Amino acid sequence: MINSPRILPRPRRRLPAARPPLPRGAETVITSPRILPRPRRRLPAARPPLPRGAAAVIDSLRILPRPRGRLSPARPPLPRGAAAVITSPRILPRPRRRLSAALPPRPRGAAAPPPAAAVAVTDEGGVGPRRSFRISLRPRVRVVPWVKPPVARKPKDPAKSPRPSIEALAAEWAKEKAASGAPEEECVLPFLQKGAPKKEAFRRLPLPHTFQEFSIDPIKKEELDNGTEPPPYKIKIIPTGLYWLAALGLVTAQMSALTNHFAERKRLRSLRALEAIEKDDFVIEFVGEVIDDETCEERLEDMRRRGDKNFYMCKVKKDFVIDATFKGNDCRFFNHSCEPNCQLQKWQVNGKTRLGVFASKAIEVGEPLTYDYRFEQHFGPEIECFCGAQNCQGNMSVSGKD
């Protein structure tokens, strides 16, 4: 499992210089995911220069002055039980020297920040659900480890029996599996095997996916229940070989059309595996706001009017649309592929319908994670498909179905 973000070299093509270059050694902290627009041209220079050393909190289109004390104390905690809201990226100041000085030091002996989830988001540009201005990621940009804020725990209900541990559930699962006649080696859970990364138990659930297993994922559940923000998505910039070819002067008219095509592809934010995933493994749950058809239509209309290109809705059934536009987890970054390595499945868990992504083949570390939207009920206009698969259908028919 890769725990630290790898920032790969910036592609050759220069990004629009809408933003002045960061001073040497400056760092930017990306603390929460935000799908940024793909500005066609330069953004209007309406943004006044920040005063020296000032930090900006970007919340939609408003640039707020930095509060005196902590970075964003103005944001009230979410109500209990509310889903974690992914609303805005917080850009920390561009300090003259080291950014880390601006962050509170980790107390002695404190645990290291939590490792990455089983998946990482790579930013190759993208169009977001809300208009904002572009954040230029420069080669020196570094993702600073996220320190989990203290969790507001719910008081325990003494009447409720304590939740069984993962190990207890695993033992129960192994017993069931053995009873079903499975060979001995299949009755051992991968994450309990010697040398297996401990975190795996909490990030992904093993085979087979009983309802019980599907409904336990303590970390994900906690993120959704306690109203804290989920960990930031790791951003990687993947260079495209085509830019090197372009630099070598091999660009013909056809070639430039191809480059444009790939430049389009490059803008796709994608999700990559941070650990090897076996076939049929549970990868992640598709979560978001559950909205009815009417709200869904309204939101789609808003998005069309704004010219949004990325859609994050998935229709489960009538009046049951999961919208990960404003609230969601890494699952919202799964791209479509005509030759996917995952599959979105509908599950009934304790009487509730839930969506889970499962690996449809063995997946290597670093591989982009995809599923086929055409077999799922995804929304959005019919758009050209950039999946690059040999059997690519050319477009994604992603209109909603009942």
Ligand X SMILES: C[S@@+](CC[C@H](N)C(=O)[O-])C[C@H]1O[C@@H](n2cnc3c(N)ncnc32)[C@H](O)[C@@H]1O
- Classify the C-alpha dihedral 15-19-23-27 as positive or negative: negative
The set of residues, in sequence order, having a beta carbon less than 8 Å from that of 389 and lying 6+ positions away, is: 337, 338, 339
Residue 385 lies near ligand X (rule: CB under 6 A): yes
The set of residues, in sequence order, having a beta carbon less than 8 Å from that of 133 and lying 6+ positions away, is: 18, 37, 39, 43, 47, 58, 61
Whose Cβ is closer to ligand X: residue 200's or residue 330's? 330
Residue 371 lies near ligand X (rule: CB under 6 A): no
Shortest gap between Cβ of 316 and ligand X (angstroms)?
A: 15
Q: Total residues at the site for ligand X (CB under 6 A)?
A: 20
Decide: helix, strand or coil at residue 153. coil
Using CB atoms within 10 Å of the CB of residue 386, give its burial: 0 to 12 exposed, 13 to 18 middle, 19+ buried: middle
Interface with ligand X (CB under 6 A), residue from 177, 203, 309, 315:
309
Interface with ligand X (CB under 6 A), residue from 31, 335, 341, 377:
335
What DSSP letter does each residue of 55-71 carry, written as one string? -EEEETTEEEPPPSSSS
Whose Cβ is closer to ligand X: residue 309's or residue 327's? 309
Whose Cβ is closer to ligand X: residue 94's or residue 265's? 265
Using CB atoms within 10 Å of the CB of residue 18, give its burial: 0 to 12 exposed, 13 to 18 middle, 19+ buried: middle
Residue showing the smallest CB distance to ligand X in the complex: 269
Shortest gap between Cβ of 154 and ligand X (angstroms)?
A: 31
Whose Cβ is closer to ligand X: residue 72's or residue 395's? 395
Whose Cβ is closer to ligand X: residue 93's or residue 328's? 328
Shortest gap between Cβ of 104 and ligand X (angstroms)?
A: 31
Whose Cβ is closer to ligand X: residue 92's or residue 344's? 344
Shortest gap between Cβ of 224 and ligand X (angstroms)?
A: 19
Shortest gap between Cβ of 387 and ligand X (angstroms)?
A: 4
Rg, the chain, Cα only: 22
Site for ligand X in 153-192 (CB under 6 A): none
The set of residues, in sequence order, having a beta carbon less than 8 Å from that of 172 and lying 6+ positions away, is: 164
**Residues 204, 279 contacting (CB under 8 angstroms):** no
Interface with ligand X (CB under 6 A), residue from 282, 311, 358, 371:
311
Indicate the length of the chain as a whole number: 402
Residue 86 lies near ligand X (rule: CB under 6 A): no
Site for ligand X in 46-65 (CB under 6 A): none
Query: What does each C-alpha distance from 234 to 32, 135, 365 come to in angstroms?
Result: 9, 15, 15
Query: What HEC string does 154-188 produce?
Result: CCCCCCCCCCCCHHHHHHHHHHHHHHCCCCHHHHC
Binding span for ligand X by CB under 6 A among 16-24, 148-156, 226-234, 304-312: 304-312
Stated as kind and residue range, the H or E segment containing 201 is helix 200-203
**Among 254, 252, 283, 290, residue whose Cα is nearest residue 367:** 283
Residue 35 lies near ligand X (rule: CB under 6 A): yes
Report which residue type is found at 296: C
Interface with ligand X (CB under 6 A), residue from 374, 386, 397, 400:
386
Shortest gap between Cβ of 252 and ligand X (angstroms)?
A: 25
Binding span for ligand X by CB under 6 A among 112-120, 134-142, 202-210, 306-314: 306-314
Both tokens of residue 93? 């100041």
Both tokens of residue 323? 């919208």
Shortest gap between Cβ of 290 and ligand X (angstroms)?
A: 17
Shortest gap between Cβ of 28 and ligand X (angstroms)?
A: 19
Residue 355 lies near ligand X (rule: CB under 6 A): no
**Residues 373, 336 contacting (CB under 8 angstroms):** yes
Site for ligand X in 126-145 (CB under 6 A): 126
Shortest gap between Cβ of 126 and ligand X (angstroms)?
A: 3
313 phi, psi to nearest 5 deg: -105, 150
Residue 268 lies near ligand X (rule: CB under 6 A): yes
Shortest gap between Cβ of 264 and ligand X (angstroms)?
A: 8
Residue 332 lies near ligand X (rule: CB under 6 A): yes
Interface with ligand X (CB under 6 A), residue from 310, 325, 329, 341:
310
| Residues near ligand X, by CB under 6 A | 35, 126, 268-269, 309-312, 332-337, 380, 383, 385-387, 396
